[in-house]
Amino acid sequence: MTNNTIIRWRPIWKIWLPIVFFIIPTILEKEMLGTYFTPFVYALLVFVVGIIYYLRMRLWQVIVLMSMTTIAISTYFLAARPEKIEYMIYLLGLDPGPYFVLWLKTYLTIPIWLVFLITNSVIFYTLGPMLSKALDLEKTAIRLFKLAAREVSGEQNGFTGRPYQIGEHPYEKNQLYGLASFLEAKKICVAEFPVNGMRFIFSMGISPLNKKLRDTLSYVSFGENGKLTVFISEHDYRQYKKQYTFDQLCELMGKTFLRFAEYHINNNENRIIMELKSV
């Protein structure tokens, strides 16, 4: 089984990609055509991507970040180059009116843009780490599902929307606190501590950082009564290219977390990272 083909393709962004996709086309357009259409197209793309990621992750922080980035990019070019923007509008066959440039120079100046830039910087400083963590959790969730699926031998019995009890575990709740801290610190999953045990939550769709929707996401639960329970959400199950045997998939996901717990108890957490990087 080839691990790279287990999960359906989904875009995973690197931090440097958006910067490169903005700077290089903008410079090329300015030098070759003398216009600045690229920043406005890019700003619109950023806003659309923000909507897509919000619908995918259900984090309002994504919309705020992407919207403010769109505003910051657009207002700079409107404020810094009003005559050039007027010329570009004429190229599109539109008439901006006789007071367009005067209006921009009066109400949208560089100092006003600096206010938008500072506001955007503060928002990025406060909300950016959450978005970065959400993207890291999603990438690790993909690895978790690949790791669980690589030993599945059957392709039958599709999704059933119920938790699956796969057996028992030997760990007390206090033994699992250290594991929870490690998995959260490495952005592998999010730990939740219900009254009757401990739950490790992960998802390739809605982010586990959205506390209101955590009950709908995939998880592995270590009950205080020693029961080990696994739930895989329908959305996550549908991300597989094949219809793997659901019960077997749940069982292997549970065994994956049992191994993680064993590695932690034996002070061998590096094995967890090695296993995830192997898929």
| 115-119, 156-160, 240-244 — most confident range | 115-119
* Residue 230, φ and ψ in degrees, nearest 5: -125, 135
SS (H, E, C) 236-259: HHHCECCCCCHHHHHHHHHHHHHH
Q: What is the pTM of this model?
A: 0.87
Dist. CA 255–CA 240, nearest whole Å: 19
Confidence of residue 191 (pLDDT cuts 50, 70, 90): very high
Confidence at residue 13, expressed as pLDDT on a 0 to 100 scale: 62
244 confidence band (pLDDT: 50, 70, 90)? confident
pLDDT at 155 > cutoff 80: no
Q: Which residues of 141-158 are buried (b: 16+ CB within 10 A; e: fewer)?
A: bbbbbbbbbeebeeeeee
Q: How many angstroms separate the CA atoms of 153 and 1, rounded?
A: 10
**Has residue 3 got a pLDDT over 60?**
no
Q: Which residue in 190, 131, 129, 162 sits closest to 250, CA to CA?
A: 162
For residues 137 and 187, is the Cβ–Cβ distance under 8 A? Answer: yes
Q: Are 62 and 131 in contact (CB under 8 A)?
A: yes
Spatial CA neighbour of 71 closest among 95, 103, 100, 39: 39
Per the CB < 8 A criterion, the answer to whether 256 and 228 are in contact is: no
Confidence of residue 202 (pLDDT cuts 50, 70, 90): very high
Across the chain, where does the E strand assignment appear?
Answer: 164-168, 190-192, 197-202, 218-223, 227-231
- Region 171-194: mean pLDDT is 93
**Taking residues 194-222, what's their average pLDDT?**
94
Residue 65: half-sphere exposure toward Cβ, Cα within 13 Å: 18
Q: How confident is the model at residue 1 (pLDDT cuts 50, 70, 90)?
A: very low
Q: Report the sign of the C-alpha dihedral through residues 156, 157, 162, 166, in that order.
A: negative
Measured CA to CA, the distance from residue 198 to residue 176 in angstroms comes to 8
Question: CA 71, CA 42: separation in Å to the nearest integer?
Answer: 11
CA distance 135 to 131: 6
List the structure tokens of 63: 């919309």
The whole-angstrom separation of Cα 45 and Cα 36 is: 15
User: 């938790």: which residue's tokens?
Assistant: 163
203: which residues sit within 8 A by CB, 6+ positions away?
Answer: 137, 138, 141, 217, 218, 233, 235, 236
Q: Reduced to 3 DSSP states, what percent helix, strand and coil does the chain have, rounded to the nearest 5?
A: 60, 10, 30
Q: What are 85-104's pLDDT values in tens digits?
A: 999 999 999 999 999 999 99
Residue 5: pLDDT over 60:
no
Residue 233 makes CB contacts below 8 A (sequence gap 6+) with 203, 205, 216, 217, 218
